[in-house]
Amino acid sequence: MITGSETKMVIGTQWGNEGKGKIVDFIANRSDVVVRFQGCSNGGRTILACGEIFRVSYLPSGIHHDGKNCLICGGVTLDLEKVSGEIAMLKEAGVLKARLTIGKSCHLILDYHKRLDVLDGRMLGHYRNRTMVEQGFGHSCSDKYRRMGIRVDDLLHPDILHDKIKENLNVKNEYFTKIYGEKAMDPDELFTKCLSMGERLIPYIGNPEEIVENAVSKNLGILFEACDGALNDVERGLYPYVMPISSLSAAALAGTGLRWNSPMRIIGVAKAYSTRNDSGPFVTEESSAVTAFIRNRGREFTGVNMEPRRVGWLDLPALKFAVKDNGVHSLALTKLDVLTGIDELKVCTAYIVDGEEKKFLDLTSRDTWKAIPVYRTFEGWKEDLSSYNDFKTLPIQAQEYIKFIEEEAGVPIIWVGVGSDWGKAIFIRR
């Protein structure tokens, strides 16, 4: 039973873009506190408020509901320009209704991070420039661990902020002028810009970690929103084709100060097939008319520059790896409707590595590059699934597909997405 009086987490179990938004929205509506605990602007989602659709990257789900506490904790790296823009957009539309709290320890992405990202791409080529599509995320994380990052707390202390910007640009301008042959950046100009954008954040700066602790003690309904996908984790993912942060459920402990023994129900989200945005290993990838059909029907294009995503069949060994690493209790299966009309469906059940069949493979190893998928085939279905609201009435082929994934993953599937419209889903178990 999905109730509002327990702590839950929704986490992606593939390479991101699993379609977490719908299940997150459903649970957020039934939660008292909604928490972003890691990630960057790659945590984009769509919210429906007052009959309008708003696209946000940072503000938590539930931000448009009265009475909610929406928190952005220290594990989130904030693009100052984007988050201030989101706040302004929702305030102007009159839909920023929740109590928003932004953690003082959140690190900021500033203009010089983005500029370095662009210049790195020119020098190294996009393939080797893995700092997140010219968004400055990687460079900001690098500064964080070099202990030269600028945090939300610095916005409250203009003198300190000015000194930090000046000090950082003393270093960055060396890169701009001597390595890239570009103009130096003016620290005073950037400082003024940061102050202007930071003014929008100041009313919301606080201590979200205290709110989390208080909510846990009162047994309130808490939802932790994970960003990206577990297979992109910097430690456990397919390095170096990963995010510069942890995308595992355990990141909630570091990002919010949550006690390690706090009870939590973890809901993993997986597509009924697989996609990737980057150039890392992808065992089940195919380039065929069928996968082109899946890409077009599932709208599998990146949100940043609308490039086509790589598409493949569902990879069960990878899914089971993510389920184990994140302590997933149950699964939400998205975009099952996209597979309608395909005569024969495939699911990868094992890999062949150096002639040996393996049902489980350490995805952090180099063996992933040479793995060959072992497939089980399923008969497809022709019916439009968007009109179905009960698992038992689904085409028998769709039921068998779901049951097989559930059995192999070792955790129950509680929710199935059957259409792109809001609310098009089947709850198998609540």
Q: What is the CATH number of the domain that holds 117?
A: 1.10.300.10
2 has a pLDDT exceeding 70: no
Residue with tokens 């809901």: 267
Looking at 265, 288, 307, the residue that finishes a domain is: 265
129 has a pLDDT exceeding 70: no
Give the range of the structural domain holding residue 120, as residue numbers without chain letter.
107-198
Q: Give the residue, 41 or 292, on which the prediction is more confident.
A: 292
pLDDT at residue 241, rounded to an integer: 85
Comparing 42-51, 139-148, 349-358, which segment has the lowest mean pLDDT?
Answer: 42-51
153 and 238 within one domain? no
54 and 74 within one domain? yes
Angle between helices 80-93 and 187-198 (to 10 degrees): 30
Decide: 55 and 17 in contact? Cβ < 8 Å: no
pLDDT tens track for 85-111: 999 999 998 989 899 999 999 999 999
Instruction: Please give the C-alpha separations between residue 409 and each of 86, 315, 316, 396, in angstroms, as whole numbers.
Output: 38, 11, 7, 20
pLDDT at residue 121, rounded to an integer: 80
280 and 259 within one domain? no
Name the token pair of 371.
């793995």
**Separation of first and last alpha carbons in the chain:** 4
Type of residue at 2: I
1 has a pLDDT exceeding 60: no
pLDDT at residue 127, rounded to an integer: 54
How far is 288 from 17, CA to CA, in rounded Å?
Answer: 21
Split at pLDDT 50, 70, 90, the class of 375 is very high
pLDDT tens track for 238-280: 888 888 888 898 888 888 888 877 889 999 999 999 999 888 8
pLDDT tens track for 302-337: 766 678 899 999 999 999 999 999 999 999 999 999
Q: What is the CATH number of the domain that holds 334?
A: 3.90.170.10
Percent of the chain scoring above 70 in pLDDT: 93
Burial of 357 (0-12, 13-18, 19+ CB in 10 A): exposed
340 and 321 within one domain? yes
Burial of 127 (0-12, 13-18, 19+ CB in 10 A): exposed
Q: What is the mean pLDDT of the chain?
A: 89
171 and 121 within one domain? yes
Q: What is the 3-state secondary structure (H, E, C) of the chain?
A: CCCCCCEEEEEECCCCCCCCHHHHHHHHCCCCEEEECCECCCCCEEEEECCEEEEECCCCCCCCCCCCEEEECCCEEEEHHHHHHHHHHHHHHCCCCCEEEEECCCEEECHHHHHHHHHHHHHHCCCCCCCCCCCCHHHHHHHHHCCCCCEHHHHHCHHHHHHHHHHHHHHHHHHHHHHCCCCCCCHHHHHHHHHHHHCCCHHHEECHHHHHHHHHHCCCCEEEEEEEEHHHCCCCCCCCCCCCCCCCCCHHHHHHCCCCCCCCEEEEEEECCEEECCCCCCCCECCCHHHHHHHHHCCCECCCCCCECEEECEEHHHHHHHHHHHCCCEEEEECHHHHCCCCEEEEEEEEEECCEEECCCCCCCHHHHHCEEEEEEEECCCCCHHHCCCHHHCCHHHHHHHHHHHHHHCCCEEEEECCCCCCCEEECCC
Residue 311 lies in a domain: yes
253 and 366 within one domain? no
pLDDT tens track for 405-423: 999 999 999 999 998 876 7
Q: Give the residue, 366 or 264, on which the prediction is more confident.
A: 264
pLDDT at residue 380, rounded to an integer: 96
Looking at 165, 198, 231, the residue that finishes a domain is: 198
227 and 278 within one domain? no
Decide: 98 and 65 in contact? Cβ < 8 Å: yes
pTM of the model: 0.91
pLDDT tens track for 148-163: 999 999 999 999 999 9
Q: Give the residue, 313 or 48, on which the prediction is more confident.
A: 313
pLDDT at residue 228, rounded to an integer: 86
How far is 348 from 337, CA to CA, in rounded Å?
Answer: 19
Looking at 180, 198, 216, the residue that finishes a domain is: 198
Split at pLDDT 50, 70, 90, the class of 131 is very low
Residue 329 lies in a domain: yes
Residue 33 CA, distance from chain mean position: 19
How far is 424 from 335, CA to CA, in rounded Å?
Answer: 10
338 and 249 within one domain? no
Decide: 32 and 4 in contact? Cβ < 8 Å: yes
Comparing 51-65, 268-282, 329-343, which segment has the lowest mean pLDDT?
Answer: 51-65
Q: What is the CATH number of the domain that holds 223?
A: 3.40.440.10
Residue 2 lies in a domain: no
Q: Give the residue, 256 or 165, on which the prediction is more confident.
A: 165
Split at pLDDT 50, 70, 90, the class of 169 is very high
Strand partners, 167: none
pLDDT at residue 430, rounded to an integer: 57
345 and 316 within one domain? yes
Decide: 149 and 107 in contact? Cβ < 8 Å: yes
184 and 174 within one domain? yes
Q: What is the count of structural domains for the chain?
A: 3
Name the token pair of 210.
């205290």
How far is 269 from 3, CA to CA, in rounded Å?
Answer: 18
Split at pLDDT 50, 70, 90, the class of 201 is very high
Residue 162 lies in a domain: yes
pLDDT at residue 35, rounded to an integer: 94
